[in-house]
Structure 1
């Protein structure tokens, strides 16, 4: 049945007169065309007393072999329109995978068409996952992690709240279980694929201790986790002591730094010595340092920072990202995928932290050495633009804050007015995805997780 007709057209857009008032915004339509049927999407609807009209984007047509081609000749005036067939949608949007490199993330919203992300493209072009609080971003990241783990990709998650360890258990959420048959997934526990490290094993009983070598700390690191950072004179003492150690080929241990600083005449030395003595008792720098080879290996490694203060969390993110970068650029690591949860705290836009430099370096240079990056945040405007603009794939759940929408618009090429409107009304569990390999952004219903989700609010029932 004809839904309407074309009243004017270019190779990019068309104006329609609509016969069916039930046509929803965002619907995929098929337009008659002399070459091949054209896939179009409704971007706006207008209703007057006389008639209803629509504006559609012309997304392309199939070349007959399942590949999308752009429209090079406008549709004829008077061309009829109808709802698009599944095959046309699938071929033009390019969301289905023909190889094992596809990550199954869900289905095109409102259609029984599975959507797959090309994981090598995510690794080489980076990903931003953003939403307002409670919008489903951590859930979607969990789905991606499940898919990457199945392909034996090393995934490292900087997890400030301890959300991701729940992947060790199979999903027992009643609503998720009810939806699984529709999406063709079954519950699964990933405990065999998970390693968990934490600087605070008292707060995180299942974790192995995360330990760093004190000899690798620089003055910025020490200043960031002590009160030394508030005093330039004290920071200068630490810098000079480190320089003395390096020049004299003495190990940069806390005790050696203390011995050198004790020889200083400045009264500032006493505060520095007190802070260094305190660091000697911090568990993070005791025992044997954690080997990077135990962190970057196939499966999921969770850096569980729950219970650690913000300074220690930032130091952990900094040291791990710095070590991954140093080892990857000399070819000592396999390709890996680094997820930074609460990215606005580690790489903020307005200020710098000790994690800013290593994470920014990975964002800018990591793809050359097999490091993929995923930044996750509910406050996009507060994430460093130097990092965000390096992300060429975006997974956007509901977003309403004007500043955050503006940040997305600045970072995501081709973020149109209609897309801006779309993300503000997305339902929970639905995301707009723009990614390398898909010719156009697509709204996707995220599939149920196979494993248990750990990012549920304490006041939200999962039953």
Structure 2
């Protein structure tokens, strides 16, 4: 292997007669006038006598061909392998043409490839096309994972990609981008498994109800038990907001997440909400004020007081009168009604039925807390939760700096799928505000983000710019590819490959490494509860129904045509399922078609019998 063509301090062409080149593999250039230089293959082509040599494409020019001839390559008869190699570090001078090329040893690339120990880092997968270097790799990095390929589970043959978790303090926040079916959710699951292995306190916003880690995939013989490391909690069922703990700002965030608040509505909350209000006391205040405003004026309210049927009703209308006199001019009727409607909507969804104590305890214990619910309710709840927990951590760190005693609250990571719904580009949302604050300032307080989305273009640009490490799976939309190109150091050649990546293959753009790594995510140790193919599910459920019906009727066989009504009545008595003669006959004919029973004609009509 030799350097050919015109070289620069950043890029060279390499030619070989014996060895084909692989994209993203590493090579050592033995420049006689400089130290050995490490480069990465970014493009590769093959030439032979069956291809006209005037078809060079965009990569190879005449200087490369002339160099090959000068170095003794017979380009008219031999198959020639050519690659473009980009140096990892810029050389002092243009690389000497004709320099020898060799494959690096693991010891020469260890500092580049391995950023952390297995004990302190996240073992996420392998670095592709490093199997040659992995032959003399340290034993501690061998046989530590499996990848899942088309042929099934495959033992590790390449250098592992171990993410340096400690580097998050300097290069915080992670983005996980990829289209549907690219392996994005699979990669996110692997990251979360590693966080559980490290006992890192983590909050996961799970709108798809798929981040459950209790099931082991069929391809693994040994089960990894994460049941003590995570907990799934549904918003409005297991967790919620304790109304008495809310401040005015928290309440406005919740109401705004439910449906946008006008300036007038914000003013109503500021005026009518009192510290330590309960849901009932605040809702009653709003309701009574609206009822007084519906009367229209003070005279009508006084008439209602006079005409009250008992002392309790009279006292209630006197309270309405007091509210009307104090707040009618500053709190418009429509705004008060709007706040009351939003408040009742949150109550109906169970937001105010619980508290967040279980989440706080889980984080203190180093667990991964999975919060489940539909996207809208998670937006509402996360607005309050993240504000609350982030400021608890921030207050603790500020107290330490000021040398004031404070209750410990641990650093933690916030993870969400469909992140563009929580921090959208182009318009404000309550959850976006706190996520943007954490993206810009969270590093100082030990609060970090892992944001996954199929549509990075729709994610807020300020937040995207703060994601120092990005995992980029297969992406096909031109607008998303353009955003990725702007926000990462992916080359033009690499972005061209994005639509064609295999499921599970990923470009990792890391500020820690200072370059992009091409890797493959390891096989997950757990599986999503939604992995069953829906068509397999349909077949399974249909078979279960058929088996159930057969068990119900097999003791009643044979069934004659004239016995269908009596059989239908018996089935209703035994199973509680109502059949008409027509529906039962239809079911029995289906059982015949599926081979459960037989149908035969007799002199008295047809009948159904066992096979």
Is the structural similarity TM-score above 0.5?
yes
Q: Report the secondary structure of 1:360's partner residue.
A: helix
Moved more, 383-392 or 9-18: 9-18
- 1:132, 1:455 → 2: CA distance? 18
Following the alignment from structure 1 to structure 2, what is the Cα–Cα distance between the partners of residues 447 and 26?
Answer: 18
Contact 2:474 2:498 in 1 (8 A): yes
Question: What is the rounded CA distance, in whole Å, between the counterparts of 1:351 and 1:87 in structure 2?
Answer: 50
Deviation of residue 289 (structure 1)?
4.8
Q: Which residue of 1 aligns with 2:145?
A: none
Q: 1:409 to 1:252 in 2, by over 3 A?
A: farther
**Alpha-carbon deviation of 1:427?**
1.3
**1:304 maps to what in 2?**
372
Q: In proportion to residue count, which structure has more helix?
A: 2
Deviation at 1:278, TM superposition (A): 4.7
| Pairwise CA distance, 1:146 | 1.7
Alignment of 1:404-443 (within 5 A): 404-412=480-488, 414-443=489-518
Equivalent of 2:522, from 428, 443, 447?
447
1:222 to 251, 255, 279: 255
Work out which of the two has the higher radius of gyration on C-alpha atoms and give 1 or 2. 2
In the aligned structure 1, how far is the partner of 2:444 from the partner of 2:104?
40
State how far apart, in whole Å, the 2-side matches of 1:419 and 1:154 are. Answer: 35
Q: Give the stretch that moved more between structures: 23-32 or 251-260.
A: 251-260
Contact persistence 2:118–2:162 (CA under 8 A): no
Point out the more displaced range, 257-266 or 322-331.
Answer: 257-266
Q: How does 1:138-287 map to 2 (within 5 A)?
A: 138-165=185-212, 167-169=213-215, 171-174=216-219, 177=220, 187-201=223-237, 209-215=238-244, 216=246, 217-226=250-259, 229=260, 232=262, 236-237=264-265, 239-246=267-274, 249=275, 251=277, 253=279, 255-260=281-286, 261-262=289-290, 263=324, 265=328, 266-268=332-334, 269-270=336-337, 272-287=339-354
Change (3 A) 1:319 1:279: closer
Q: Which runs of 5+ in 1 are unaligned?
A: 61-69, 179-185, 202-208
Give the aligned partner of residue 131 of structure 1.
178
Is 1:293 aligned with 2:360?
Answer: yes
SS in 1 for 2:357: coil
Q: State the alpha-carbon separation in 1 of the partners of residues 113 and 480 from structure 2.
A: 28
Which position in structure 2 is the counterpart of 1:318? 383
Counterparts in 2 of 1:404 and 1:321: CA distance versus 1, 3 Å? same
1:49 counterpart = 2:49: no
**Cα distance change of structure 1 residues 455 and 13 upon mapping to structure 2, 3 Å threshold:** farther
Quote the Cα distance in structure 2 between the aligned partners of 1:6 and 1:88.
24
Aligned mates of 2:120, 2:358 — CA distance in 1: 29
Give unpaired runs (5+ residues) of structure 2.
54-74, 132-157, 291-323, 397-407, 538-611
User: For residues 395 and 139 of structure 1, what CA distance do their matches in structure 2 show?
Assistant: 12
Number of equivalenced pairs: 421
Higher relative contact order (CA closer than 8 Å, sequence separation 6+): 1
Q: In structure 2, do the counterparts of structure 1 residues 402 and 457 end up closer, same or farther at CA, with 3 Å as the change threshold?
A: farther
SS in structure 2 of the partner of residue 375 of structure 1: strand
Please tell me whether the aligned partners of residues 136 and 429 of structure 1 are also in contact (alpha carbons under 8 angstroms).
yes
Question: Could you report, residue by residue, the CA deviation over 1:21-44 in whole angstroms, capped at 9, with x for unpaired residues?
Answer: 732333322322335433222222
Which residue is 2:425 aligned to?
Answer: 349
Contact 2:351–2:381 (Cα < 8 Å) also in 1: no
Q: Secondary structure of the residue that 1:333 maps to in structure 2?
A: coil
Q: TM-score, normalised by structure 1?
A: 0.82
- The verdict on how the C-alpha distance between 1:303 and 1:387 changes in structure 2, with shifts beyond 3 A counting, is same
Identify if the C-alpha distance between structure 1 residues 377 and 288 changes in structure 2 by more than 3 Å, giving closer, same or farther.
closer
Structure 2 matches for 1:369-380, cutoff 5 A?
Answer: 369-380=445-456
Q: Which residue does the alignment assign to 2:88?
A: 59
Q: Could you tell me how far 1:56 is from its partner in structure 2?
A: 1.0
The alpha carbon displacement at 1:301 in A equals 0.8
Deviation of 1:316 (Å) = 1.7
Helix, strand or coil at the partner of 1:444: strand
Query: Residue 64 of structure 1 aligns with which residue?
Result: none
Superposed, which structure 2 residues align to 1:108-119 within 5 Å?
108-110=127-129, 111=131, 112-119=158-165
2:125 is equivalent to residue 75 of structure 1: no
Shift of 1:193: 0.7
Q: 1:271 to 1:356 in 2, by over 3 A?
A: closer
Q: CA offset at residue 364 of structure 1?
A: 0.7
Q: Deviations over 1:363-389 (max 9, x none)?
A: 111000001111100111011111110
- 1:351 Cα deviation after fit: 1.8
Is the contact between residue 9 and residue 77 of structure 1 (CA under 8 Å) also seen in structure 2? yes
Name the CA shift for 1:279/1:86 in 2 (closer, same or farther; >3 Å): closer
Query: Does 2:179 correspond to 1:104?
Result: no
Q: Tell me how far apart the structure 1 counterparts of residues 421 and 241 of structure 2 sit (CA, whole Å).
A: 21
Please give the TM-score of this superposition, normalised by the length of structure 2: 0.63
Q: Shift of residue 75 of structure 1?
A: 3.0
Q: Alpha carbons of 1:98 and 1:241: their partners in 2 closer, same or farther (altered >3 Å)?
A: closer
Residue 282 of structure 1, CA deviation: 3.7
In 1: Cα distance, 2:412 partner to 2:464 partner: 19
Give, in whole Å, the separation in 2 of the partners of 1:28 and 1:287. Answer: 55
Question: Secondary structure of 2:351's match?
Answer: helix
Whole-Å separation in 2 of the counterparts to 1:444 and 1:44: 17
* Offset from partner CA, 1:175-198 (integer Å, 9 cap, x none): xx39xxxxxxx5412001112211
Q: Distance in 1 between matches of 2:477 and 2:41?
A: 24
**How far apart, in 2, do the equivalents of 1:257 and 1:299 lie?**
36
Aligned equivalents of 1:198, 1:103: Cα separation in 2: 28
1:270 CA displacement: 4.1
CA contact (8 A) 1:156 1:295 kept: no
